[in-house]
Structure 1
Amino acid sequence: MENLWSDDDAKAAIARHAAKGINEDLALRVYTTRLLGGEPRLVLHGGGNTSVKTRMADITGAQVDVLCVKGSGWDMGTIEAPGLPAVRLGPLGELKGLQALSDEDMVNVQRTNLLDSKAPNPSVETLLHAFLPHKFIDHTHSNAVLSLTDQPDGEALAADVFGKRAALVPYVMPGFALAKKTDEIARANSDAEGLVLLKHGIFSMGATAEEAYVRMIDLVTLAEKRLAKETRKIFPGVTLPKEIASVAEVTPILRGLLSLPAKDGGREAAQRFVFEFRTGPEILAYVGGKEITRYSQQGPVTPDHAIRTKGVPLIAPAPQAGKLDVFATEAKAALDAYVADYHAYFARHNAKQMPPKKELDPIPRVVLVPGLGLFGVGNSSKDAKIAADLAETTVAVVADAERLGRYECIPEPDIFDIEYWSLEQAKLGAAAEKPLARRIVAVTGGGSGIGAATAAAFAREGAEVVVLDRDVSKVKGFAIACDVTDLKSVRAAFDKIAATYGGVDIVVSNAGAAWQGKIGEVDEAILRQSFELNFWAHQSVAQNAVRIMKAQGLGGCLLFNASKQAVNPGADFGPYGLPKAATLFLSRQYALDYGADGIRSNAVNADRIRSGLLTDEMIAQRSKARGLSEADYMGGNLLGIEVTADDVAQAFVSLAKAAKTTGAVITVDGGNIAAALR
């Protein structure tokens, strides 16, 4: 483990914080916390915590002793001073004399002693930091330390590796009891540089920020060196099919299976998930091991992971290419067994709870697929990535643990206590989801104009948005370079969406261009070119979307940009209007043919929108030809107002939300009776 401390960087951190009125202690606490948080082998996604004991002014200006400790919701890798809220140290120290303290009372006393009432909740391990006498304290979930202690004989191994440099603390659930136990052991080992919490993590302590940080690095390095001595072969593999199905083929099936069914019997799933795929030699060896049902079902490598990954992952069957129906059947059976086991696990442990807990959903947050890799599963792309990161860490920790001996984590009752601990669940937040959260949306021609406005509108509604365009160099967010007139390009783009997020729910087929010319005189090549983009591209996009939607079995929504030209053709616009008219009827054909699959299909009929189709130059030409100002031309509708790309985007969003509407066309033009459908 590399020591990243830099005197120059430390001085710069002090100066930078001093300019904001922040003292040296807190400045250095932020600096070393970020050093630790930037190393994924030590800290991942809000795990771990740090503290410093210092003095600060209260509201009266009096200097008081405080503990600045990591606040809930802050990540150590990006933390700033507000992420280390100051708590009055005196009242916390007085709690040491109590024999017991409920979690609710612990949180209350911590919050009531904050110098700033608006600060985040201090860490659930605040009292542990407060009871120890050291000025700077660091806590991480080091991979190497976990591999060493997640063993049947982990205590003996740790004692041998660390000797008197670190005292050993048996597993106790975080909170008041752990704080008391740790204080007791620390006082009995006053010369120890650190504390190893068996099957949990490691603490290091010091009089300075540098000392505590360096001790953490040195102690973790001792564990790494011990593990490096082990060369035992692990994870002997099972026999896999000669050809494994692709990620793009497998993910929609899994996503459909994991989504919870609608409570009203409708086609819209009550709860969808977003996926994140990971693979590589280490992961493939792990998921393809003969003993996967043993080591993968033990439980989390550190208790903190349980709220993100649940206790154990789902083991799916190996997907053989060309036999996806078999994979779907076997995967469903595996999921059904997982769900039944989860219900039994909950019932087993909830029977001892007073008051009883409310069961969480039984869906796995990690899926292992032999021959392919692993998937993180979450309510959003961010959540799925977190689950996948933790799953990758699990692979690394278990691999080292198995080389050393036999992986063994905390017992199942302790896993349940952590998973259903209100203080841990609070980390996940209780914010209401946006209307289109968990939906995966693809927008063609999303790099500019109506497409860009539509992509932004869906993102504001909480959807995971993918932009497809020929030029995505300036697109913010996830984008795929795609020529919608090329069948292979479209197929590859949709496969990438499925492999990246797990599938697709809503597709806005928007890409188009306006060719002009008198229909009896236009060059055939121009007409064919227009049909390629303004009709055939829509068909190719919709066809690929339906392919994935049917594999998911979750329904879906197709949205087409049909244009006013489809029903109210303009002079010299036949090359554009003809394929658009075909696209309008294409949208209705999809509604007719795939309604039974829960796939809705609707269109938007827009006119006079500043976009890639109607450029400023074209607007100037048309308004001049009609003897109108540009404002009068653009507002030349019944309402007398200009219609924008954002207005069209909102129409697409509204249709996406209209769960019981299909085969419809919404007109967005400010009022043009000639273009009104009848």
Structure 2
Amino acid sequence: MTSLFDSCTAARFQNDPLAMRVYTSQLLGQSKELVLHGGGNTSVKIDNILYVKGSGWNLDTIEKPGFSPVNLDVLLEMATRESLSDTQMVAEQRAAMQDQSFPNPSIEAILHAIIPFDFVDHTHADAVVTLTNTPEGKMLVQKLYGENMLIIDYVMPGFELAKHIYAITRNIDWNTLSGMILMHHGVFTFDNDAARAYEKMIDIVTVAETYLSEHVTLACGDCEGKGDPAIAIAVGMEAAKLRGCDLYPLLIDSPRAQLFSILPNLEVLVKKGGLTPEHVIRIKPFPAIIDNDIAEGIAKFAQDYKAYFDANASSVHICLDLAPRYAVIKGVGIVVLGKDEKESRIIADIVKHTITAILCAEQLGGWGSLSLSQMFEMEYWELEQAKLKK
């Protein structure tokens, strides 16, 4: 991975740490191999205030107003608690903000607070997460990065993750660490210098990319062909019945998508988790699979999704719509099913990165990210459910 850091540009922000935070955050956001559509988060600590990426901002376009100023002491105290609901966490983080006009802080604010460095960067780097989503992923990243890389087994993002890391790092000298890899989730780097924190991220991802280039062959291209748009339209019309609104279907018929669509273990593979946890909110836990009969494939998805909900839900959960966000058409490729062009483009980006990671992982022993119950926990996150109830 190529570093985009320019020392001449950065010199303009030398005496303004928040401006420097904006600059390196935008550098991270410019690479879709690091973050996609609101993914990842960054922060800087200034005078006992944590300025952390706020809800609704993307790293590639973030500016100073996108960094929520939260009292650092309050966040550190929150990390010591035994329990804290997501709703309570968001409310208390908001109450601890220096200025209420800013957006809600990231759900990872507490984790950013307990990392004892001024600049903290968090991405969902494709290459690194691809490696962690293989059967021997933990052993592999330990071998690649050595004993100075802190490797964390998967924990639900938010308070539970922050609490877990706080507990296991109480006696760790953070200065000895080169970074932190969260299994099936992403990467954290940190330093008191913004440039070094950024370059550490680039270095970590480069190691993973190099390993993949040496052990994986992806001869099939990612360029889309000129398939029959009627297929996408037909799938969209059928899925729209379940979504309750018109859809904007897009056909992805690149050689890579076509290869993915004919994998012999496709039905099992697509239920082994996504590239990173937050994607489930955009694309649901698995796609529809269509083999000739479109109506049958969409109906089967609705049946499987309802079974997934019933197996994991409690009485407090409200079931989301039963429509897929994308469908794999065997021998053809993939149709994405957003409610408008913007949503379809977002889904398409996530799906393309996901199938590339899966095809790579399958050459490294197999794909396996999160279980269906773990995906449910993220998809039916308390705060997302609260929006529905309102």
Say yes or no: TM over 0.5. Answer: yes
**Contact kept in structure 2, 1:279 and 1:374, CA below 8 Å:** yes
Deviation of 1:189 after TM superposition, in Å, equals: 5.3
**Contact kept in structure 1, 2:317 and 2:385, CA below 8 Å:** no
Provide the C-alpha distance between the structure 1 equivalents of 2:304 and 2:331, rounded to a whole number of angstroms: 25
CA shift in 2, pair 1:233/1:141, >3 Å = closer
1:176-234: CA deviations, max 9, x gaps? 11002223344425211211000111111111111110000111111112222214689
1:39 lines up with 2:39 in the alignment: no
CA shift in 2, pair 1:186/1:396, >3 Å = farther
Alignment match, 1:113: 96
Alignment of 1:111-510 (within 5 A): 111-187=94-170, 188=172, 190=174, 191-231=176-216, 246-260=227-241, 270-317=244-291, 327=292, 330-350=293-313, 353=314, 355-423=315-383
Deviation of 1:109 after TM superposition, in Å, equals: 0.9
Alignment of 1:606-617 (within 5 A): none
* Structure 1 unmatched runs, 5+: 16-22, 56-64, 236-243, 262-268, 318-326, 433-678
Provide the C-alpha distance between the structure 2 equivalents of 1:161 and 1:254, rounded to a whole number of angstroms: 43
Q: 1:126 is aligned with what amino acid?
A: A
**Contact kept in structure 2, 1:376 and 1:386, CA below 8 Å:** no
Provide the C-alpha distance between the structure 2 equivalents of 1:30 and 1:356, rounded to a whole number of angstroms: 39
Provide the C-alpha distance between the structure 2 equivalents of 1:137 and 1:193, rounded to a whole number of angstroms: 12
Aligned with 1:151: secondary structure? coil
**Root-mean-square deviation over aligned CA pairs:** 2.2
Provide the C-alpha distance between the structure 1 equivalents of 2:199 and 2:384, rounded to a whole number of angstroms: 29
Deviation of 1:407 after TM superposition, in Å, equals: 0.5
Provide the C-alpha distance between the structure 2 equivalents of 1:147 and 1:401, rounded to a whole number of angstroms: 6
Deviation of 1:386 after TM superposition, in Å, equals: 0.6
**Contact kept in structure 2, 1:169 and 1:181, CA below 8 Å:** no
Provide the C-alpha distance between the structure 2 equivalents of 1:92 and 1:54, rounded to a whole number of angstroms: 14
1:292-319: CA deviations, max 9, x gaps? 22322322111110000000011122xx
**Contact kept in structure 1, 2:87 and 2:382, CA below 8 Å:** no
The percentage of aligned residue pairs carrying the same residue is: 36
Aligned length: 383
1:372-415: CA deviations, max 9, x gaps? 32222112211111111100010111122112121001111110
Deviation of 1:97 after TM superposition, in Å, equals: 2.3
CA shift in 2, pair 1:425/1:309, >3 Å = farther
Provide the C-alpha distance between the structure 2 equivalents of 1:277 and 1:110, rounded to a whole number of angstroms: 42
Q: 1:9 is aligned with what amino acid?
A: T
**Contact kept in structure 1, 2:229 and 2:251, CA below 8 Å:** no
Aligned with 2:363: secondary structure? helix
Provide the C-alpha distance between the structure 2 equivalents of 1:27 and 1:158, rounded to a whole number of angstroms: 33
| Higher RCO, 1 vs 2 (CA within 8 Å, ≥6 residues apart) | 2
**Contact kept in structure 2, 1:273 and 1:380, CA below 8 Å:** yes
1:25 lines up with 2:17 in the alignment: yes
Provide the C-alpha distance between the structure 2 equivalents of 1:208 and 1:103, rounded to a whole number of angstroms: 31
Aligned with 1:133: secondary structure? coil
Alignment match, 1:80: 63
**Contact kept in structure 2, 1:418 and 1:424, CA below 8 Å:** no
Provide the C-alpha distance between the structure 2 equivalents of 1:210 and 1:415, rounded to a whole number of angstroms: 34
Provide the C-alpha distance between the structure 2 equivalents of 1:248 and 1:151, rounded to a whole number of angstroms: 35
1:582-619: CA deviations, max 9, x gaps? xxxxxxxxxxxxxxxxxxxxxxxxxxxxxxxxxxxxxx
Alignment of 1:507-546 (within 5 A): none
Provide the C-alpha distance between the structure 2 equivalents of 1:174 and 1:312, rounded to a whole number of angstroms: 20
> Normalising by the residue count of structure 2, what TM-score does the alignment of the two structures yield?
0.93
Alignment match, 1:2: 2
Aligned with 1:384: secondary structure? helix
* Structure 2 unmatched runs, 5+: none
Q: 2:238 is aligned with what amino acid?
A: L
**Contact kept in structure 1, 2:227 and 2:253, CA below 8 Å:** no
Provide the C-alpha distance between the structure 2 equivalents of 1:177 and 1:307, rounded to a whole number of angstroms: 19
**Contact kept in structure 2, 1:368 and 1:374, CA below 8 Å:** yes
Provide the C-alpha distance between the structure 2 equivalents of 1:8 and 1:279, rounded to a whole number of angstroms: 42
Aligned with 2:249: secondary structure? strand
Provide the C-alpha distance between the structure 1 equivalents of 2:9 and 2:217, rounded to a whole number of angstroms: 41
Deviation of 1:246 after TM superposition, in Å, equals: 4.2
CA shift in 2, pair 1:310/1:234, >3 Å = farther
**Contact kept in structure 2, 1:67 and 1:130, CA below 8 Å:** yes
Alignment match, 1:478: none
**Contact kept in structure 1, 2:288 and 2:328, CA below 8 Å:** yes
Aligned with 2:376: secondary structure? helix
1:548-602: CA deviations, max 9, x gaps? xxxxxxxxxxxxxxxxxxxxxxxxxxxxxxxxxxxxxxxxxxxxxxxxxxxxxxx
Q: 2:194 is aligned with what amino acid?
A: A
Deviation of 1:148 after TM superposition, in Å, equals: 0.5
Provide the C-alpha distance between the structure 1 equivalents of 2:159 and 2:182, rounded to a whole number of angstroms: 15
**Contact kept in structure 1, 2:181 and 2:187, CA below 8 Å:** yes
Provide the C-alpha distance between the structure 2 equivalents of 1:211 and 1:146, rounded to a whole number of angstroms: 22
1:87-120: CA deviations, max 9, x gaps? 1111111223211111111101110011121211
